Structure 1
């Protein structure tokens, strides 16, 4: 057994971590302010009831994923970069914590995405509660889309709302849509969804997240995990 760290050594580690945290916060704030100014967005907390967008910077001490997951509960939408190599959220911990802790919708944006995305939205539908919750959150985006395609892979479950029921629901909100059905022949459901996205020319995907347990998907794989790793367009999802 080796000797443990001395109190001074532990304090040195804590001090170094705090210095690194302050440096990362300062760098992040500089990037935030630069992006805000470039977009012409005013600095403010948005509580004055104005019609124009505003943005404010906040800092908190703690684990990033945990704090972000809680803060997102009072956000209409959380926008995060797609996890992956070179990303600050390489393993996807931040994205998953926001999905599971917030109860709110999340928009995952891959590198290279443009601001004009959302002209053709693909809704991946399976009739489950997670999917219905995401569709409800997506209504403002669906109303402004030029085209909405409803996608179902495989056979519809007899005890869940199908594509036609979803089409009628959206029509009641003034949203026209078309239905596309695909079979997952020789490929996974996740691959079939992403292939349909490409075939249909969609530039945004709407889907429920983790219909199965997160641990099952992490071990065995699943639609959500595959989409997080491989989607080439922004993905709106909620759990």
Structure 2
């Protein structure tokens, strides 16, 4: 099921970019795909509206110049990190539309594009014509659950997103856990994980009475995978002393999983952010790549 060919990889200069680049490379080599790295520079003209808030034209002009200089500095830093990574790993760098119909399995190509605009909009539009988007985990101290770009991809691209771990992964997609609760979001994640699950060494479906919503049960998800030739075992996870999200990640660790897939925000995003929620806990605490879909 070799359908993962274009992997969109937004790079904005976070210290965890290597984790995202490595995750992208693992998957690109697995499927013989292409990493489409993208850096979005902020438009310095966005500062202009401040002129109506008591700032003189000269002050706004200086702010625009400073923003432009900072944007150029960050763009150069991101490009240097990309060039270093591709050189170090022997990745052929091509144009944004590589002249091929798939690399041999075990190899990958990459491209780099810089665009100007609002990051969450530009990345989302590009994600719509990508097989998957991989985002770097935010720097320590930031909450990934508050990432505007991540939420824009999840809610507006129609495509899956993989949140890379903070630490550089050694493997990804060999031992897969599927979080199941019967929702439409979980169903979308199940469909999107099929290319990886078809080649995985082991697949486990995780379910819990505290996590289940109205919809098909975990055994039905296992039956669906079986029709695709994918054997998956089932495990009910539960620990009354822990939250569902913590239990879910503990079950992944017990399985030795190097990839988790789940639906994002079965409840409304606002409600999850206020109450906590499984999505938020996993986003902020997972130590493995997490594929999410809506």
- Give the TM-score normalised by the residue count of structure 1: 0.91
How far off is 1:88 after superposition? 11
Report the more deviating stretch, 94-103 or 121-130: 94-103
How far off is 1:172 after superposition? 1.1
**CA deviation profile, 1:2-57 (whole Å, cap 9, x unmatched):** x8211011011011101111111111111112212222222222243242532111
Aligned equivalent of 2:74, options 5, 9, 24: 24
Aligned equivalent of 2:86, options 36, 46, 60: 36
Gaps of 5+ in 1: none
Which residue matches 1:74?
A: 129
- Please say if residues 126 and 156 of structure 1, whose CA atoms lie closer than 8 Å, have aligned partners that are also in contact: yes
Instruction: Report the Cα distance in structure 2 between the residues aligned to 1:17 and 1:225, rounded to whole angstroms.
Output: 32
- Please say if residues 143 and 284 of structure 2, whose CA atoms lie closer than 8 Å, have aligned partners that are also in contact: no
Secondary structure of the equivalent of 2:113?
Answer: coil
Which residue matches 1:60?
A: 115
Structure 1 segments of 4+ aligned residues over 4 angstroms from their partners: 86-91, 155-159
Which residue matches 1:166?
A: 221
Q: Does 1:46 align with 2:98?
A: yes
Instruction: Report the Cα distance in structure 1 between the residues aligned to 2:256 and 2:175, rounded to whole angstroms.
Output: 7
Which residue matches 2:260?
A: 205
- Give the TM-score normalised by the residue count of structure 2: 0.75
Count of aligned residue pairs for this structure pair: 237
Note the 1:150-165 alignment, pairs <5 A.
150-154=205-209, 159-165=214-220
Secondary structure of the equivalent of 1:206?
Answer: strand
Note the 1:1-239 alignment, pairs <5 A.
4-44=54-94, 45-52=97-104, 53-85=108-140, 91-154=146-209, 159-239=214-294
Instruction: Report the Cα distance in structure 1 between the residues aligned to 2:246 and 2:101, rounded to whole angstroms.
Output: 44
Gaps of 5+ in 2: 1-52
Secondary structure of the equivalent of 1:59?
Answer: strand
Instruction: Report the Cα distance in structure 2 between the residues aligned to 1:124 and 1:88, rounded to whole angstroms.
Output: 22
